[in-house]
Structure 1
């Protein structure tokens, strides 16, 4: 079972069936905000839809193909962060994340990203991480920039959001870059 303590108030835990009701409620309460940038929201209409996602996440983890973790803050499920999949041949992954409305602005995604980056490079021994974000999603684009990712390019019409395509910006970070960032910025990149 995957669990990663970030600080005294925050931890990450592999999603399991005990999280289904709370995850559905969190998604449902934040539906309008999440829908602006996340294409899955309209597919989550019932608790059973969330259960299917969690079962898939558990299967993904069991097959060593990534982690979908709940972000827990003060004992409450605040959001989700995950490796979409792991390309073991080339040793890279991509990370996605979201928070419920009540948990935005607390540094939870930034701290969760630090943990997931460190875990990918230190434990999984991956070499590269990508984050892809819609061009207009300024708040989400700030996170990889703050963490030292390089903006590598723009993918035109890369994501379908309900009734239109949006461009995505690709951010990349290598294990060597992360190691250098951690050694030169020990006061700003703390796990």
Structure 2
């Protein structure tokens, strides 16, 4: 397997991304509320277009062997404060292989180099053990619990 890479998706990737979401709809919908609203390739196109226009968001496709296997993003970017939140999801057949941890490491490097960010946050459901493992593997530190969510952060 080639090392995974993160790349800015293109509108032409909408079909591949939508099919990937559809294959993982059951698993993703447990943790990500937006999944139920994404019903068509056109919805994915609209999401990508809106994301490209949003100055507080950067989205990336996670690729292995030129195939998209998940997505990772920075959102709520505040360049003045040097902060952002991280979001991510991965195809179920790639979970547990360290792929997301590697993608997160690449995202952190980009956040420092290109955007001069100083702190990233991950907010996850306290029952999402797989996401919790990614946060801990990448040295994010628990800062608080807010209802059902755990909040982790990392100073870069």
TM-score by length of 1: 0.78
The C-alpha deviation readout for 1:87-128, integer Å capped at 9, x for no partner, is 112110010000112221221110000011122123311111
1:141 equivalent in structure 2 = 132
Provide the residue aligned with 1:97 in structure 2. Answer: 88
Runs of 4+ in 1 over 3 A off after TM superposition: none
5 Å matches for 1:7-26?
A: 8-26=2-20
Partner of 1:68: 59
Looking at CA atoms only, which structure, 1 or 2, has the larger radius of gyration? 1
Greater shift in the superposed pair: 7-16 or 146-155? 7-16
Structure 2, unpaired ranges of 5+: none
RMSD of aligned Cα (Å): 1.4
Q: How does 1:9-158 map to 2 (within 5 A)?
A: 9-60=3-54, 63=55, 65-156=56-147
C-alpha displacement of 1:59: 1.5
> Partners in 2 of 1:106 and 1:143 — Cα distance?
11
Partner Cα separation in structure 2 for residue 141 and residue 9 of structure 1: 22
1 or 2 for the larger relative contact order (CA 8 Å, sep ≥6)?
2
CA contact (8 A) 2:24 2:92 kept: yes
Looking at structure 2, the residues matched to 124 and 8 of structure 1 have their Cα atoms a distance apart, in angstroms, of 27
Q: Secondary structure at the match of 1:171?
A: strand
User: 1:172 deviation in Å?
Assistant: 0.7
3-state secondary structure, aligned to 2:32: coil
Identify the residue that residue 181 of structure 1 maps to in structure 2. none
TM-score normalized by the length of structure 2? 0.94
Match of 2:152 among 161, 168, 171: 171
CA distance in 2 between counterparts of 1:83 and 1:28 reads: 23
Q: How many residues align?
A: 156
Secondary structure, counterpart of 2:70 in structure 1: strand
